[in-house]
Amino acid sequence: MKKIHFLLLATFFLIACSREDTALINEPKQPVYFTAPSESAAVVESEKLKFVVDTVATELESPWGMAFLPDGSMLITEKPGRLRMVKEGKLMPDSILGVPEVVAKGQGGLLDVRLHPDYESNGWLYISYSAPGDGGANTAVMRAKLQGNSLVEQEVIFQAEPFTGKSHHFGSRIEFDDAGFMYITVGDRGERDKNPQSLESYCGKVHRLYDDGRIPEDNPFVNEPDAIASIYSYGHRNPQGLAKHPETGAIWEHEHGPQGGDEVNEIKPGVNYGWPVITYGINYDNTIITEDTAKAGMEQPLHYWDPSIAPCGMAFVASDKYPTWKNNLLVGSLKFRYLARCEVQGGSIVHEEKLLDSMGRMRAVEQGPDGYIYVAMESPGQIVRIFPNSSSTQGQ
């Protein structure tokens, strides 16, 4: 009897172990992009978090956008026209082949890169860039698939017009919402009195598309004669930040003002954000653009900077790795070379802290699938990671 009892217990134990092993095998593995920094790395004490600044890629030329592949690799755009890969913690020496031709002049070049939300199933990635055309350049988006070290199945799914010889205000950020719609920013291309307020121009707008470039039937100006059907919002100057709010799913944008008046906005369908009819900034020669900072029918920013910080790159903190920063907004500053941590309450920014002060011109900020925050910066051209110190998380 004891022998039978023992055999039954052993059988149950083996079944349980087998189920546990199967569960572990079937459990999806989180990608490991970079190993933990050295324990001797210097710890930074910020207002609510201790962290280590961990350098993960160097010797880059004007990195502009970042995307994280499911296998633990990272894609990085370099503005002169190269797409680079960091694999197994190392920057690959050869650029990825098949990138589109770009006009690498002024603020133009190879700009943002974004994976389709369902990338693991369909393999689509999206690149924004200043595309050459008759008379100059304008913002375009191409989708393609990565095969080995080459981009294949390339399709240009968005092309802003007209082409112009001016080399600034391309906008060029890409983001997806929870419904799978794609948003693309296009700057006013230096034609402030012509483009931002005209629905017949692509420029100075946020555009909304299906993932293959088709126009959604419920876009706000689809049925308006002569309007560009992809326009979702207008009255923008040069939007170089775009991010989805982790709780509401709303798309937030930031844009360069002139001298003063950089803005953070929540993007709403059909809304006019006012540039250049209203602004909190002035011309670079200190002359007045307009006396108006508000006007009926034009949206006020959620937040603005005066003086300008020259914002570029933007991400919300959704990761549990930064519990004291949860739902904070991170914004890069090109002008003052810092990362702004912005505390958000009720749709307003109520407090700001400078991080990574004077490290470089902050061009992009992303939260990777591993939950860590990555920042791309120019001069020096590098990618760093904000790695929470294990003994940290003050203020919990």
In this structure, which amino acid lies at residue 33? Y
The single-letter DSSP state of residue 121 is H
Q: How far apart are CA 324 and CA 177, in angstroms?
A: 25
* CB neighbour class for 261 (10 Å; exposed up to 12, middle 13-18, buried from 19): buried
Q: How far apart are CA 341 and CA 352, in angstroms?
A: 6
- For residue 149, CA distances in Å to 51, 83, 376 come to 35, 10, 22
ω into 276 cis (within 30 of 0): yes
Q: How far apart are CA 334 and CA 311, in angstroms?
A: 6
Report, as residue numbers or ranges, the catalytic residues.
169
- For residue 80, CA distances in Å to 111, 139, 185, 325, 396 come to 9, 15, 20, 34, 43
Sign of the CA dihedral running 211, 385, 109, 202? positive
Q: Are 170 and 191 in contact (CB under 8 A)?
A: no
Minimal CA–CA distance to 92: which of 125, 129, 126, 60? 60
Residue 70's contacts (CB-CB under 8 Å, 6 or more residues apart) are 31, 119, 120, 369
Q: How far apart are CA 314 and CA 333, in angstroms?
A: 10
- For residue 163, CA distances in Å to 140, 171, 286, 386 come to 11, 14, 29, 39
Dihedral angle at the C-alpha atoms of 261, 262, 264, 266, nearest 10 degrees?
A: 70
Q: How far apart are CA 276 and CA 194, in angstroms?
A: 10
